[in-house]
């Protein structure tokens, strides 16, 4: 087992977020399930864009946000995802590289799907509802993997959102095999309760095949184990994996390991502006602390600090150095 050169290597959708504001009625009228992500085609995203108000564009993508968050703490992060040779692809590549993340993606030219984008509608309560174009990033297959990068990272982090197409599922399995072969750990984010609902059996198979760490919120973990009882779902997750890291929104989070349960409080926020990226940045803070060898409670604290920073402004990329922010809070 060689010495790892990356802390976290993330694999996920390469997305540029288009963020605007709306009221709850707009979501209802446009069949957008509040608080969730739905995959849409070009016609649907165009119609929605036409109807929504002014927006701003910020690089996003769940696992990509996590990789940027790890780098913003001073950690070494890499990202594998697929972009097209277009304006949004250039924006995505620029933003992730300039944030200090190793990004191996080569823009795909020719008659290909466009770089993925997500129309994110933020309601007055700060909740985000996402409509993601089935662009080129959902076509990731095992040929896009970079085995050396995967083998070089302490933790391989897989984004559940990507787990919709057979090619991506095969890519996840291959990446997991490379990581295991190199003696690394594998983390999985469940991403979305609907996504879990669509692929429950296969997620469970993937977990059984070697996921060490799971990141999920309350609705995702209860969907996975088909129970309404969070404590029961948490216990089942803890039994299935080395580490279960479960977030509960404003109620904080809980980390389960070796028969123990650690409660992690939230880091208070004056005003929740936009929850986009809350889970992604929580994972970033936790994985940074974990890969630096900090205790689980301390990793959880960094996770809460990162999540609080991201929900206090628009967009899912940190607006400040998380290393500096954590330092001001005594970490």
Residue with tokens 């986009």: 276
Interface region with its own copies, contact rule CB under 8 A, candidates 88-96, 169-177, 186-194, 195-203: 88-96
d(C-alpha 1, C-alpha 41), whole Å: 44
Among 5, 55, 141, 261, binds its own copies (CB under 8 A): 55
Could you say whether residue 280 binds its own copies (CB under 8 A)? no
Q: C-alpha distances in angstroms, 14 versus 52, 91, 122, 219, 309? A: 23, 10, 21, 24, 22
Closest CA to 240 of 225, 218, 262: 225
Among 49, 146, 230, 331, binds its own copies (CB under 8 A): 49
Footprint (CB under 8 A) of its own copies, residues 231-260: none
Q: Please give the structure tokens belonging to residue 258.
A: 């070796």
Q: How far is the CB of 140 from its own copies (least distance, A)?
A: 22
> Any idea what DSSP says for residue 74?
T
Could you say whether residue 99 binds its own copies (CB under 8 A)? yes
Among 54, 124, 166, 330, binds its own copies (CB under 8 A): 54
Could you say whether residue 284 binds its own copies (CB under 8 A)? no
Pick between residue 109 and residue 297 the one whose CB is nearest to its own copies: 109
Could you say whether residue 63 binds its own copies (CB under 8 A)? no
Listed in order, strand segments (DSSP E) in 22-101 are 37-40, 55-60, 77-80
Could you say whether residue 42 binds its own copies (CB under 8 A)? no
Closest CA to 18 of 85, 114, 97, 82: 114
For 7, residues 6+ apart whose C-beta sits below 8 A from its C-beta are 70, 75, 76, 77, 153, 154, 155, 287, 288, 291, 292
Could you say whether residue 269 binds its own copies (CB under 8 A)? no
Contact 160, 188 (CB under 8 A): yes
Could you say whether residue 194 binds its own copies (CB under 8 A)? no
Pick between residue 56 and residue 170 the one whose CB is nearest to its own copies: 56
Could you say whether residue 67 binds its own copies (CB under 8 A)? no
Could you say whether residue 168 binds its own copies (CB under 8 A)? no
Residues that bind its own copies (CB under 8 A): 49-50, 52-59, 68, 86-88, 91, 94-96, 98-99, 315, 317
């Amino acid at each position: 087992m060689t010495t790892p050169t990356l802390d976290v290597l993330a694999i996920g959708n390469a997305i540029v977020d288009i963020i605007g504001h709306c009221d709850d009625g707009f979501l209802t009228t446009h069949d957008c399930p509040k608080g969730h992500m739905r995959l849409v085609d070009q016609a649907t995203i165009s119609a929605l864009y036409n109807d929504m108000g002014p927006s701003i564009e910020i690089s996003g993508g769940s696992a990509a946000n996590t990789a940027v968050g790890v780098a913003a703490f001073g950690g070494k992060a890499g990202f594998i995802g697929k972009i097209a040779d277009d304006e949004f692809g250039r924006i995505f590549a620029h933003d992730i590289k300039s944030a200090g993340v190793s990004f191996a993606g080569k823009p795909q030219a020719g008659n290909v799907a466009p770089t993925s984008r997500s129309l994110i509608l933020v309601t007055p309560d700060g909740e985000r509802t996402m409509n993601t174009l089935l662009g080129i990033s959902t076509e990731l297959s095992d040929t896009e993997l970079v085995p050396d990068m995967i083998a070089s990272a302490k933790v391989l982090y897989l984004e559940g959102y990507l787990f919709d197409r057979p090619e991506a599922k095969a890519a996840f399995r291959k990446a997991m095999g490379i990581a295991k072969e190199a003696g690394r750990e594998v983390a999985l984010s469940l991403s979305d309760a609907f996504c879990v609902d669509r692929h429950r059996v296969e997620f469970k198979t993937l977990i059984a095949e070697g996921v060490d760490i799971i990141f999920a919120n309350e609705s995702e973990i209860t969907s996975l184990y088909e129970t309404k009882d969070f404590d029961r779902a948490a216990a089942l997750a803890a039994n299935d994996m080395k580490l279960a890291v479960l977030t509960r929104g404003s109620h904080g989070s809980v980390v389960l390991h070796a028969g123990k349960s650690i409660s992690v409080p939230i880091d208070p926020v004056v005003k929740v502006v936009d929850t986009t990226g809350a889970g992604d940045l929580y994972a970033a803070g936790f994985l940074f602390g974990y890969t630096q060898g900090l205790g689980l409670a301390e990793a959880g604290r960094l996770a809460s600090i990162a999540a609080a920073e991201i929900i206090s402004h628009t967009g899912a990329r940190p607006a400040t150095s998380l290393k500096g922010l954590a330092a001001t809070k005594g970490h």
